[in-house]
Amino acid sequence: MPIIRVALDVPVDTLFDYRAPDATASDIGRRVLVPFGRKTAIGVLLEISNAAAVPAERLKEALRVLRDLPPLASDDLQLIRFAADYYRHPLGMAVMGALPTRLRRVAGLSQPRRRGVYRLTPAGLALDAAALPLRALAQRRVLDRLRQGPLALAEARTLAADAGPLLRLFARRGWITLEEDISPGPPLSAIIAPTPVLTAEQTRAVAEICDRLKEYRTLLLLGVTGSGKTEVYLHAIAAALKAGKQALLLVPEIALTPQLDALVAQRFPGTRMVSLHSGLAESERLEHWRAARSGQARIVLGTRLAVFAPLPDLGLIVVDEEQDGSFKQAEGFRYSARDLAVVRARQRGVPIVLGSATPALETYHNALTGRYSLLTLSSRIGAPPPRIACIDTRGESLVEGLSQRLLAALRERVTLGEQSLIFINRRGYAPVLMCRACGWISGCSRCSAQLVLHLAERHLRCHHCGHVSGTPVACPGCGNADLSPVGQGTQRVEAALAQHLPGARVLRIDRDTTSRRRAWQAMRERIRDREVDVLVGTQILAKGHDFPHLNLVGVLNADSRLYSNDFRAAERLYALLSQVAGRAGRGGTQGDVLIQTEFPQHPLYAALSRQDYRAFADSALAERRQAGFPPFVYQAMLRAEAPRLSTALEFLVEAARLGSTLDSRVTTYDPVPAAMPRRAGRERAQLLVQSESRSQLQQFLRAWHVKLAPLRASRARWSLDVDPLEF
């Protein structure tokens, strides 16, 4: 009787054996229903053998091999196996985590939703726009789009935040009808809409990518903000589609997907595109996953989890803003989607394009050494680069964190009818509440961090563990009723702008205001319709957004990131400021960027003012080579947490002792408390290991992981972070 080896979603680095009389080699990659303890569980069949690793009397029989879906392809399983091995994560959890949530449940599958397109009826075609209310801007946009041809729900959602109810309203009024989309679509020659004329640099970049469509190559597209990197992506995707291939486009943030959704849908109206990210409903994610797996979806747009999407005809991978830390999973399965995308491209023999205005130094180093091909876009399209200047705030009395020069520039832009952005990467009203009589500050009882004042909600909130408490009416230490907010957050800046720019329409955009479903989309509509004068926001606004009427960017509190114990702090600050500066002047008018700082002569600001990424990167790489930091070495971090810090450190001391017996070419550093020692009531510590050879480090980690396994019984919880980004 065949013995099947099954991957289950449990934190054990092993496969589980079951008897399966009807299993064959063609079932490898299928889901199976098996008994597990007192319950039943869903797993994935990975191997078939004639012998079991457990005694025959302990061997259970699988309940059923689920053949309702095609099995995972060998290429997909190969990628997951590689990721689980490289990042030292249990294989079963890695395999099951790559599946949509619905496929991990014992309950049966839902049927795919009816998919179709909306068309105007004769009544809709005859509709006079004057019949709509003057403020019905979303209705006008959707109707204007429907007059151009059929409209899918996904594209409608990029035009209006409440697209679903709006389309149902149109249907009730008899203006539109839903036609089920059962046609195979237009021929390949007709699926691409007219495209803008490319610049010489864009033409060279597209030609280089297209010449590689049938072979593996990693290409770094280094382009300043506004240089047309997205247009290069779209032309490369068009070439892949014409070759009968699928394309995978990865972006770092969910907030970027609606804008790209609309752009891709407009460019490829006859091609099915799906998105994959954590913001989708379970049924929607399953439907999109199925479409990708069947090959019906020719373009897949998603965040990091989409790197595992099954794509039988994969021909091109694009990773936009490749330097972004969001591509690295911070908890659990700590994989890097960018790095796995490169591995996947190599396994499948297809090109991968990594795009950025400020690439990660590891990526840039690979391009300099010839491991990656370097493509450059050095000029903005349609507008000159923004002017970047520093405002010296030394000795100046700021108004709620705003300098007089910045306030004057804001007033001027409001008078001209232009939009401005104030960037401060702190949400809430103030980072801390303080008693100036006794020195009490609003610390979190569960974390080594301060509670942030959210004045509008009248509470203090920890942005690390989520703890919330009411705002005290008096100091808990001395009873003083005069408590002072210290520092600025987005709420405080919003209030200050409302006071000092009377009549200006101010919109705050941060995690608090965009948490509701489709809230960010509605805000984008207001910005596009010029219903906003000044935006106040966090890094949600820094990447990938195109606001043609925004011509001024002011940056507050940049110095807080300038000095840090993390060797990547300067790199991240340069990338962040470069991205947010790139929002200014994208509509043809040269924009201005004003950065408030007490260190106007700092080399980072000097390089940023010249917009000279290469000079900054070359200097940073020289420093890292001298200091022995990545990309010149390879690292892994063993992290431990426990109720007491001493327990976590004791575990790491024992782990270091075990590691010291393995490979002298791998350096094991002393255990230390984490940068934030306490989080959510747990004490945290970490241990760094490092080697000049990636293969040597991997060999060490495999052997070390085996030795650490028996220590799981200790009171410390631990995890291994390979290629860590956070220190």
Looking at residue 702, which CATH number applies to its domain? 3.30.70.360
| 295 dihedral zone (left: phi>0; alpha: psi -120 to 50; beta) | left
278 lies in the same domain as 363 = yes
pLDDT of residue 69: 87
Residue 223 in contact with residue 229, Cβ under 8 Å?
yes
200 lies in the same domain as 313 = yes
- pLDDT digit string, tens, across residues 662-689: 988 999 999 999 999 999 999 999 999 9
Q: What is the mean pLDDT of residues 162-186?
A: 73
pLDDT of residue 172: 85
CATH number for position 415: 3.40.50.300
* Phi, then psi, of 149 in degrees rounded to 5: 145, -175
Boundary (domain end) residue, out of 572, 599, 623 = 623
pLDDT of residue 518: 75
Q: Which of 138-142, 378-382, 542-546, 582-586 has the lowest mean pLDDT?
A: 542-546
- pLDDT digit string, tens, across residues 392-412: 999 888 998 999 999 999 999
362 lies in the same domain as 396 = no
Boundary (domain end) residue, out of 153, 180, 207 = 180
Q: What is the mean pLDDT of residues 523-536?
A: 92
Instruction: Tell me whether residue 222 is exposed, middle or buried, using C-beta atoms within 10 angstroms of its C-beta: 0 to 12, 13 to 18, 19 or more.
Output: buried
Does 8 have pLDDT greater than 80? yes
pLDDT of residue 115: 60
192 lies in the same domain as 283 = yes
59 lies in the same domain as 100 = yes
420 lies in the same domain as 566 = yes
Q: How far apart are CA 50 and CA 279, in angstroms?
A: 43
- Domain that residue 10 falls in: 3-104
CATH number for position 100: 3.40.1440.60
Domain presence at residue 459: no
Domain presence at residue 727: no
Q: Which amino acid is at 252?
A: P
Does 109 have pLDDT greater than 70? no
Tokens 């085996």 correspond to what residue? Answer: 706
Pairing status of strand 3-8 against strand 16-19: antiparallel
> Which one-letter DSSP state was computed for residue 174?
T
256 lies in the same domain as 369 = yes
- pLDDT digit string, tens, across residues 289-322: 999 999 999 999 999 999 999 999 999 999 999 9
Does 186 have pLDDT greater than 50? no
pLDDT of residue 108: 54
Residue 574 in contact with residue 604, Cβ under 8 Å?
yes
Q: How far apart are CA 123 and CA 692, in angstroms?
A: 71
Q: How far apart are CA 602 and CA 217, in angstroms?
A: 38
pLDDT of residue 210: 95
Residue 401 in contact with residue 424, Cβ under 8 Å?
yes
Tell me how many domains the chain contains.
5
Pairing status of strand 483-486 against strand 432-435: antiparallel
* 3-class SS shares of the chain: helix, strand, coil, % to 5: 35, 25, 40
**Residues pairing with 550 in the sheet:** 419
Choice between 711 and 612, residue whose per-residue pLDDT is larger: 612
Instruction: Tell me whether residue 178 is exposed, middle or buried, using C-beta atoms within 10 angstroms of its C-beta: 0 to 12, 13 to 18, 19 or more.
Output: middle
pLDDT of residue 352: 98
Q: What is the mean pLDDT of residues 613-640?
A: 96
| CB within 8 Å of 681: residues ≥ 6 apart | 446, 465, 643
Containing H/E element for 655? helix 645-660
194 lies in the same domain as 326 = yes
Q: How far apart are CA 262 and CA 145, in angstroms?
A: 12
Pairing status of strand 314-320 against strand 246-250: parallel
pLDDT of residue 183: 42
DSSP string, 302-355: ESGGGGG---TTEEEEEEETTT-GGGB--SSS--BHHHHHHHHHHHHT-EEEEE
Closest CA to 220 of 338, 79, 349, 348: 338
pLDDT of residue 193: 63
pLDDT of residue 257: 75
* 697-713 exposure pattern, b = at least 16 Cβ within 10 A, e = fewer: bbbbbeebeeebeeeee
Choice between 543 and 701, residue whose per-residue pLDDT is larger: 701
Q: Note if the bond before 631 is cis, omega within 30 degrees.
A: yes
Instruction: Please tell me the number of Cα atoms within 13 Å of 117 on its side-chain side.
Output: 19
Q: Which amino acid is at 719?
A: S
Tokens 């280094």 correspond to what residue? Answer: 222
16 lies in the same domain as 87 = yes
Does 185 have pLDDT greater than 50? no
pLDDT of residue 461: 93
Residue 149 in contact with residue 156, Cβ under 8 Å?
no
| CB within 8 Å of 60: residues ≥ 6 apart | 18, 19, 34, 35
Q: What is the mean pLDDT of residues 246-255?
A: 91
Other CB atoms within 10 Å distance of the CB of residue 169: 13
Does 724 have pLDDT greater than 90? yes
Domain presence at residue 443: no
Containing H/E element for 33? strand 31-36
296 lies in the same domain as 407 = no
Domain presence at residue 465: no
Containing H/E element for 235? helix 229-242
Six-digit token string for 112: 């795919």
Helix (H, G, I), strand (E, B) or coil at 378: coil
Does 59 have pLDDT greater than 60? yes
Instruction: Please tell me the number of Cα atoms within 13 Å of 102 on its side-chain side.
Output: 17
For the chain, the C-alpha Rg in angstroms (whole number) is: 27
Q: What is the mean pLDDT of residues 226-247?
A: 95
Other CB atoms within 10 Å distance of the CB of residue 143: 21
Six-digit token string for 361: 């130094």
| CB within 8 Å of 585: residues ≥ 6 apart | 226, 383, 384, 385, 386, 550, 551, 591, 592
Q: How far apart are CA 10 and CA 15, in angstroms?
A: 10
Domain presence at residue 14: yes
Q: How far apart are CA 347 and CA 562, in angstroms?
A: 39
Q: How far apart are CA 586 and CA 604, in angstroms?
A: 24
Boundary (domain end) residue, out of 580, 602, 623 = 623
Does 226 have pLDDT greater than 90? no
Q: How far apart are CA 680 and CA 672, in angstroms?
A: 19
* pLDDT band at residue 192 using 50, 70 and 90 as cut-offs: low
Strand order in the sheet with 373-377: 273-276, 299-302, 246-250, 314-320, 351-356, 217-223, 373-377
* pLDDT band at residue 521 using 50, 70 and 90 as cut-offs: confident
Q: Which of 175-189, 560-574, 665-679 has the lowest mean pLDDT?
A: 175-189
Q: How far apart are CA 597 and CA 605, in angstroms?
A: 9
Domain presence at residue 474: no
Q: Which of 68-72, 180-184, 533-537, 711-715 has the lowest mean pLDDT?
A: 180-184
Domain presence at residue 441: no
Tokens 């006008």 correspond to what residue? Answer: 140
For all residues of the chain together, what is the average pLDDT? 90
**Residues pairing with 61 in the sheet:** 19
351 lies in the same domain as 391 = no
Q: How far apart are CA 628 and CA 156, in angstroms?
A: 51
Q: What is the mean pLDDT of residues 461-471?
A: 92
**Residues pairing with 352 in the sheet:** 218, 317
Q: What is the pTM of this model?
A: 0.87
Instruction: Please tell me the number of Cα atoms within 13 Å of 247 on its side-chain side.
Output: 25
Q: How far apart are CA 77 and CA 97, in angstroms?
A: 12
Residue 401 in contact with residue 496, Cβ under 8 Å?
yes
Residues in the chain: 727
Domain presence at residue 447: no
360 lies in the same domain as 232 = yes
